[in-house]
């Protein structure tokens, strides 16, 4: 009997920009294209298909894409069969315009088109015309791509998406325009996918979405939730056998309920780390941002979650130089940082983005570039001191570390994270990879900890 000829193997190279959502999308692209005979290329030079996956959250995104595409132009001239596709949020937002701006691109595709990549490649192979595939799938018809983790390529940590899109209207943000309406993934799919990752060797799973607290996939009808659906989902995932640690990101304070906060106390695998973006410390700025909470409400949430989980590590996002931000408003951001004492922050200068509510509200980008730069520098200088203090609290204690692998930056050392998401480097045998182990923390660098593998004889107090 004749057997099916195996498809000709080809090679895929992906250059990725942006957030964890984009990391997740790249994994799905690899899987979808893997089934079409594409293996990972070591470099663009060996590739038959190059995908640039783009992010448009902050400015210069298109410039980055153009410079990335420019790099492969010569390669395409040398190898006419090489295909260059541009995916992600810039592709979604710019559509045909991006094709005109980047003549070297064969086609572009938005985030909803990842599952259709084989068809898009077929269309490219058949036709002569370049095209932009930016159709958005209706909420009712949207189906999440299923991850099929393999033991050979699964790492200790993995991402599972629970949601796509966003229904909020934060005035600075382009995400609702590029990723569309919010859809929650049915809880059963989430739990099953977590189970498959654990079976393939993952130990720590991070549930991802733009606004995970508004998840509403627990009920059969996918009806809008109130934050408690997310708490229920966390409880169901926490119970997956073999899972060692669970994290989630990103939370929006608007839907962060006390039940979600209580999960830090009640769920044994839920890591003691919360990323709760505040964006600004002034209620007036927050109002112009259309964030739907005040400084006081946010701080009450912080106080509550710290009361149920005193050693929680916290991180946040900050934007400086938002339209109309006065010196006094900015000072409130500094005072909020000083009050909360985050373990780490991501901080950005505001950049005007197309198709955002800020433009419709006529909020012009009116804070001078030098003022933005100076404010960013002050935020980062303050946070540097706070981070040093927060990391310092581990020194002299034993931390429970989930070992992720060998450190790329510190050869000969292992690396892993505490429950609070702090990276720890220490010397130890590779057999520890994938396991929880005790590390005596001996010092702190600017963003990471260093330690010694602690055997049973260590007498330092255990923090986590």
Q: What is the DSSP string of 203-268?
A: -EEEEE-SSGGG---SSTT-----SHHHHHHHHHHHTSTT--EEEEE---GGG--HHHHHHHHH-T
Q: Which is nearer to ligand SF4, 28 or 252 (CB)?
A: 252
Site string for ligand SAM, 348-367 (x = CB under 6 A): x-xx-x--------------
- Choice from 277, 281, 357, 416 touching ligand SAM (CB under 6 A): 277
Q: Which is nearer to ligand SF4, 157 or 211 (CB)?
A: 211
Residue 315 binding ligand SF4, by CB under 6 A: no
> Which one of 92-100, 113-121, 170-178, 234-242 is the stretch in contact with ligand SAM (CB under 6 A)?
170-178
**Is 74 exposed, middle or buried, given 0-12, 13-18 or 19+ CB atoms closer than 10 A?**
exposed
CB of 249 to ligand SAM, least distance (A): 8
Which one of ligand SAM, ligand SF4, none interacts with residue 57, CB within 5 to 8 A by kind? Answer: ligand SAM
What is the rounded CA–CA span in Å between residue 363 and residue 350? 12
Residues 260-299 that bind ligand SF4 (CB under 6 A): none
Residues 211-240 that bind ligand SF4 (CB under 6 A): 211
Residue 250 binding ligand SAM, by CB under 6 A: yes
- Choice from 64, 247, 252, 269 touching ligand SF4 (CB under 6 A): 252
CB of 416 to ligand SF4, least distance (A): 29
What is the rounded CA–CA span in Å between residue 352 and residue 59? 7
What is the rounded CA–CA span in Å between residue 265 and residue 279? 26
Collapsing DSSP states into helix, strand and coil, what is residue 438?
Answer: strand
Which one of ligand SF4, ligand SAM, none interacts with residue 357, CB within 5 to 8 A by kind? Answer: none
Q: How many residues bind ligand SF4 (CB under 6 A)?
A: 9
CB 181 within 8 A of CB 142: no
Other C-beta atoms closer than 10 Å to the C-beta of 431 total 8
> Which one of 36-44, 137-145, 195-203, 344-352 is the stretch in contact with ligand SAM (CB under 6 A)?
344-352
Residue 26 binding ligand SF4, by CB under 6 A: no
Residue 176 binding ligand SF4, by CB under 6 A: yes
Q: Rounded to whole angstroms, what are the CA distances from 454 to 204, 254, 425?
A: 21, 41, 13
Residue reference for tokens 């600075």: 172
Residue 173 binding ligand SAM, by CB under 6 A: yes
- Choice from 92, 113, 134, 279 touching ligand SAM (CB under 6 A): 279
Q: Which is nearer to ligand SF4, 13 or 24 (CB)?
A: 24
Sequence-distant (6+) residues with CB within 8 A of 325 are 280, 282, 285, 350, 367, 375
Q: Which is nearer to ligand SF4, 254 or 453 (CB)?
A: 254
CA 284 to mean position of chain CA atoms: 28
Q: Tell me which H or E stretch contains 179.
A: helix 175-179
Residue reference for tokens 């894409």: 65
Residue 61 binding ligand SF4, by CB under 6 A: no
Site string for ligand SAM, 2-21 (x = CB under 6 A): -----------------x--
Q: What is the DSSP string of 349-399?
A: E----TT-HHHHTT----S-HHHHHHHHHHHHHHHHHHHHHHHHTTTTSEE
Which one of ligand SAM, ligand SF4, none interacts with residue 197, CB within 5 to 8 A by kind? Answer: none
Which one of ligand SAM, ligand SF4, none interacts with residue 176, CB within 5 to 8 A by kind? Answer: ligand SF4
**Ranges assigned E (strand) in 166-211:** 183-184, 204-208
Collapsing DSSP states into helix, strand and coil, what is residue 129?
Answer: coil
Site string for ligand SAM, 302-321 (x = CB under 6 A): ---------------x-x--
CB 107 within 8 A of CB 98: no
Residue 210 binding ligand SAM, by CB under 6 A: yes
- Choice from 91, 170, 233, 278 touching ligand SF4 (CB under 6 A): 170
- Choice from 154, 161, 168, 418 touching ligand SF4 (CB under 6 A): 168
CB of 277 to ligand SAM, least distance (A): 3
> Which one of 173-181, 196-204, 217-225, 231-239 is the stretch in contact with ligand SF4 (CB under 6 A)?
173-181
What is the rounded CA–CA span in Å between residue 269 and residue 237? 9
Interface contacts to ligand SAM, rule CB under 6 A? 19, 57-58, 172-173, 175, 210-211, 250, 252, 277, 279, 317, 319, 348, 350-351, 353
């Amino acid at each position: 009997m004749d057997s099916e000829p195996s498809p000709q193997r080809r090679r895929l190279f992906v250059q990725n920009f942006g957030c964890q959502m984009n990391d997740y999308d790249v994994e799905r692209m690899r899987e979808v294209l893997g089934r079409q005979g594409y293996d990972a290329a070591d470099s663009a030079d060996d590739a038959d298909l190059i995908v640039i996956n783009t992010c448009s959250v902050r400015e210069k995104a298109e410039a980055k894409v153009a410079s990335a595409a420019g790099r492969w132009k010569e390669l395409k001239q040398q190898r006419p069969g090489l295909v260059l596709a541009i995916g992600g949020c810039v592709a979604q937002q710019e559509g045909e315009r991006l094709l005109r701006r980047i003549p070297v691109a064969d086609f572009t595709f938005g985030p909803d088109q990842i599952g259709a990549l084989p068809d898009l490649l077929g269309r490219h192979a058949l036709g002569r015309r370049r095209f932009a595939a930016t159709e958005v799938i209706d909420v009712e018809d949207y189906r999440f791509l299923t991850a099929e983790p393999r033991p050979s390529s699964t790492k200790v940590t993995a991402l599972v998406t629970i949601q796509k899109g966003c229904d909020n209207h934060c005035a600075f943000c382009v995400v609702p325009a590029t990723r569309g309406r919010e859809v929650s993934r049915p809880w059963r799919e989430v739990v099953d996918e977590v189970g498959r990752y654990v079976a393939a060797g993952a130990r720590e799973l991070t549930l991802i979405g733009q606004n995970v607290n508004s998840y509403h996939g627990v009920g059969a009808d996918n009806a809008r939730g109130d934050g408690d659906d997310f708490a229920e989902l966390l409880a169901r995932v926490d119970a997956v056998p073999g899972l060692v640690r669970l994290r989630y990101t990103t939370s929006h304070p608007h839907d962060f309920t006390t039940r979600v906060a209580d999960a830090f106390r009640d769920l044994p695998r839920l890591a003691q780390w919360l990323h709760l973006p505040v964006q600004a410390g002034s209620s007036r700025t927050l109002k112009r941002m259309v964030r739907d909470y005040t400084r006081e409400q946010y701080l009450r949430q912080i106080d509550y979650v710290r009361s149920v989980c005193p050693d929680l590590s916290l991180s946040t996002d900050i934007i400086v130089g938002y339209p109309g931000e006065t010196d006094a408003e900015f000072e409130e951001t500094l005072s909020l940082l000083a009050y909360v004492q985050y373990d780490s922050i991501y901080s950005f200068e505001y950049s005007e983005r197309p198709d955002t509510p800020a433009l419709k509200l006529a909020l012009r980008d009116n804070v001078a570039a030098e003022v933005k730069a100076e404010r960013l520098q002050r935020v980062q200088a303050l946070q540097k001191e706070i981070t040093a203090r927060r990391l310092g609290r581990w020194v002299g204690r034993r931390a429970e570390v989930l070992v992720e692998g060998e450190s790329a930056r510190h050869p000969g050392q292992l690396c892993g994270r505490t429950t609070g998401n702090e990276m720890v480097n220490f010397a130890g045998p590779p057999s520890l990879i994938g396991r929880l182990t005790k590390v005596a923390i001996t010092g702190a660098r600017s963003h990471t900890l260093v330690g010694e593998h602690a055997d049973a004889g260590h007498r330092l107090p255990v923090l986590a």
